[in-house]
């Protein structure tokens, strides 16, 4: 049984017309967004401002994280026209800042890194658009990381998601140390690349454990951090242990800033791609 949402997580601003308009554009271009695939609570607010986080490499993940709403199973082959389609959508929406993410594709030889790089370059051909990519761990492949770094996105995000103790239950096919190493590797390849990571809270972590993970992320050279509340997508997903009150998010945000993060978003409805442009511009 799902827990009832506390008042601070309830939203009443629907923007139905904006959702319909954005859905039509994305359907016409045969594109996916993480907004819909991951059941983001901010979808109406973002769509109302013609903002979307594009999902490349299909809509099916090869891993089985128990917190995530993205479809699991056997993915379809890559769409070679996808980078151009994303470019076209960004151009039509006149976006100054585009966020690109993907499901994890362990079936691909480079985890989809080449498609990320092609998409970043296609968007940069528009000249006036900044690009943030939210990448999977590429199974620890350094050459894959080098590919995405070489495409020079303005921000590379890789979410740690939760504390090490909960990885086996929440991210059974991922590795905490590998994800931390990925963040450090990006900086080792190009120290000027802005890196970002995030955690979802309410899975059963202790505040002291969250603080320790934030410290490790910062020690990996990470510039930007997001902290948000986990919301159970369905009864089949990992249950919410508790709803973290806004006051605790505020405290954690202050601690993160004291650690030296250049930009921090810490609130119940925060997500890794929500207000991404504002966070980047505020820190730069």
**Pairwise CA distance, residues 278 & 65, whole Å:** 29
Query: Which residue, 55, 53, 50, is CA-closest to 71?
Result: 55
- How many residues are there in the chain? 284
17 CB-near residues (< 8 Å, 6+ apart): none
38 CB-near residues (< 8 Å, 6+ apart): 68, 69, 70, 233
Q: What is the pLDDT of residues 23-46, one digit of tens each?
A: 677 777 777 655 544 455 555 555
Are 66 and 88 contacting, i.e. CB atoms less than 8 angstroms apart? no
SS3 157: strand
SS3 60: strand
95 CB-near residues (< 8 Å, 6+ apart): 50, 51, 129
Give mean pLDDT, residues 184-189: 98
Beta bridge partners of residue 229, listed in sequence order: 201
> How sure is the predictor about 8, in pLDDT bands with cuts at 50, 70 and 90?
confident
Helices (H), the chain: 16-28, 34-37, 43-48, 82-93, 113-124, 142-150, 167-170, 176-189, 207-219, 246-259, 276-283
Q: Looking at the domain 7-283, which fold is it? A: TIM Barrel (3.20.20)
Give mean pLDDT, residues 8-29: 66
Mean pLDDT score across all residues of the chain? 89
pLDDT value at 47 more than 70: no
| Strand 53-55 versus strand 32-33 pairing type | antiparallel
**Pairwise CA distance, residues 238 & 245, whole Å:** 20
Q: What is the pLDDT of residues 70-96, one digit of tens each?
A: 889 999 999 999 999 999 988 888 888
SS3 263: strand
pLDDT value at 50 more than 60: no
Domain ranges of the chain: 7-283
CB atoms near residue 82 (< 10 Å):
21
Are 141 and 114 contacting, i.e. CB atoms less than 8 angstroms apart? no
Q: CA separation (Å) from 88 to 25, 27, 91, 108?
A: 10, 13, 5, 25
pLDDT for 14 equals 54
Give mean pLDDT, residues 95-105: 91
143 CB-near residues (< 8 Å, 6+ apart): 110, 113
156, containing H or E segment? strand 155-157
């Amino acid at each position: 049984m799902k827990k009832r949402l506390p008042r601070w997580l309830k939203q009443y601003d629907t923007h139905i017309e904006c959702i319909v308009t954005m859905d039509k554009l994305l359907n016409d271009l045969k594109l996916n967004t993480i907004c819909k695939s991951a059941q983001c609570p901010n979808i109406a607010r973002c769509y109302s401002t013609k903002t979307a986080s594009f999902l490349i490499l299909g809509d099916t993940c090869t891993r089985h994280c128990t917190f995530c709403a993205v479809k699991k199973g056997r993915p379809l082959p890559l769409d070679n026209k996808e980078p151009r389609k994303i470019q076209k959508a960004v151009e039509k929406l006149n976006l100054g800042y585009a966020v690109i993410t993907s499901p994890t594709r362990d079936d691909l030889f480079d985890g989809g890194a080449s498609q990320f790089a092609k998409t970043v370059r296609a968007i940069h051909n528009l000249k006036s658009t900044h690009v943030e990519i939210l990448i999977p761990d590429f199974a620890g492949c350094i050459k894959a990381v080098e590919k995405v770094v070489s495409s020079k996105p303005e921000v590379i995000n890789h979410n740690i998601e939760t504390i090490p103790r909960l990885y086996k239950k929440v991210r059974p096919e991922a590795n905490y140390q590998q994800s931390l190493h990925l963040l450090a590797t990006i900086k080792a390849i190009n120290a000027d690349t802005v890196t970002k990571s995030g955690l979802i809270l309410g899975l059963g972590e202790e505040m002291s454990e969250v603080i320790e993970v934030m410290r490790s992320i910062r020690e990996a050279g990470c510039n930007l951090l997001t902290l948000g509340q986990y919301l159970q997508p369905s009864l089949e997903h990992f249950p919410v242990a508790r709803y973290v009150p806004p006051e605790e998010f505020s405290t954690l945000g202050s601690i993160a800033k004291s650690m030296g993060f250049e930009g921090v978003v810490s609130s119940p409805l925060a997500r890794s791609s929500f207000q991404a442009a504002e966070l980047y511009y505020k820190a730069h």
